[in-house]
Amino acid sequence: MRKSTVLLALGAFAATAGSAMAMDDTLTAEQAGRNDIVFDLGVGAQVQPKFASSDDYIVLPYPLFAVSYLKLPVFGELVSAPKRAFSLYPSINFVGSRSSDDASYLKGMDDVDFAFELGPGIAYRYNMFRAFAEVRYGFTGHNGIVGSAGLDLVLDPMERIQVSFGPRVGFANDEYVETYFGVSAAEANTSAFNQYDPSGGFTDVGLGGRISYDWTEKVKLHLQADYTRYIGDVADSPVVEAGSEDQFSVGVGITYRFGADLFD
C-alpha cells in the first residue's frame, strides 16, 4: 500500500501499491484572471508493482488532473498560491487487482478485484515546505480506509522547473490490511501460507519526489518517483515475505491547463 500524494488531485499515477503524482502549482487570483477554476488535465504512464508487495513490475496508463486555482461563492478561495496557506483537495488512488495466477506463491489465495479509492486531503504550505495528509475509502476491491501523510521541500531551481521531495508514511484500518496482506483460515487450507490476521495502523514509510517542467504557458511535463518499505504487521505478512517489502514506482505525464468562469 503506498499513498497517493495527490495535491489537488493530480491524481492518477497510482500504483497497485498505491502512488499518485503529487503537484503543487497553485496560482494567485491575479494569475487566474477572471477564472473561478483553473485546472490541468492530461495523461501519464507509470512503472509500478504488479500488485501490492509484488517484485514484478508493469506499465499502466493513467489520467491526470490537478486544480491550480478554485474560488467558490461563500467559501472564497479554496485553492490559491499564497506561500503560507491551507488547501483542501480530493485524494484519489487506484489499486490494481491481484490474482492467484500473478505469482506462484499466491496459488490457493483468493483473488482481489481492482479498487478505486476516494477521500479528502489537506495541505499546509509555508514558504518552501508543504505538509499534507490524506484519507481515502475503498470501493470494489476493498472497503477499507487507507491514507498517507508527508512533508515536502518545494524548490524552483530554474525558470519553468519545480522540484519537490520528502518523506511519506502510510496507514490503514484492519479491513484494508486483511484484504491485501492477511491469510484467512480457508486460504491457509488451500495455499502455502499459515493463517495470518494483521491489524491496521502504520503500514509503510518511504520517500517521494516530483519534477515538473513548464513546456509552454499551458503545457507541463511531469516526472515522479516513489520508494516505499512496508513496516509493522504488513511487513510480517507471509504474502509480503514471499514477495517484496520494498516497492518502487516511476511515472511520466503531460498536462494541459484549462480555465473557466463558473459563477458570473
Which domain CATH number covers 232? 2.40.230
Distance separating alpha carbons of residues 115 and 17, to the nearest angstrom: 11
What is the reported pLDDT for 176? 97
For the chain, give the percent of residues with pLDDT over 70. Answer: 89
Residues 6+ away with beta carbon under 8 Å from 193? 109, 183, 187, 238, 239, 242
Q: Let me know the angle formed at the C-alpha of 62 by 207 and 13, rounded to the nearest 5 degrees.
A: 5
User: Which pLDDT tens digit goes with each residue over 112-167?
Assistant: 999 999 999 898 888 899 999 999 999 999 999 999 999 999 999 999 999 999 99
Query: Within a domain: residue 14?
Result: no
Query: Within a domain: residue 128?
Result: yes
User: Which pLDDT tens digit goes with each residue over 80-91?
Assistant: 776 557 777 778
pLDDT(216) > 80: yes
Among 31-35, 139-143, 191-195, 239-243, the least confident range: 31-35
Report how many domains make up the chain.
Answer: 1
| Residue that has been written with the C-alpha cell 499459515 in this structure | 194
Query: Within a domain: residue 247?
Result: yes
Among 6-20, 131-145, 205-219, 234-248, the least confident range: 6-20
Q: How confident is the model at residue 255 (pLDDT cuts 50, 70, 90)?
A: very high
Q: How confident is the model at residue 36 (pLDDT cuts 50, 70, 90)?
A: very high
By the 10 Å C-beta count (0-12 exposed, 13-18 middle, 19+ buried), 110 is classed as: middle
Rounded-to-5 percentages of helix, strand, coil across the chain: 10, 55, 35
Q: Which domain holds residue 193?
A: 29-260
- In contact, 4 and 17? CB cutoff 8 Å: no
Query: Within a domain: residue 50?
Result: yes
pLDDT(16) > 90: no
Q: Is 106 helix (H, G, I), strand (E, B) or coil?
A: helix
Query: Within a domain: residue 9?
Result: no
- In contact, 163 and 157? CB cutoff 8 Å: yes
Strands, E, within 127-191: which ranges? 129-140, 145-158, 161-172
Query: Within a domain: residue 15?
Result: no
Q: How confident is the model at residue 15 (pLDDT cuts 50, 70, 90)?
A: very low
- In contact, 258 and 39? CB cutoff 8 Å: yes
Query: Within a domain: residue 5?
Result: no
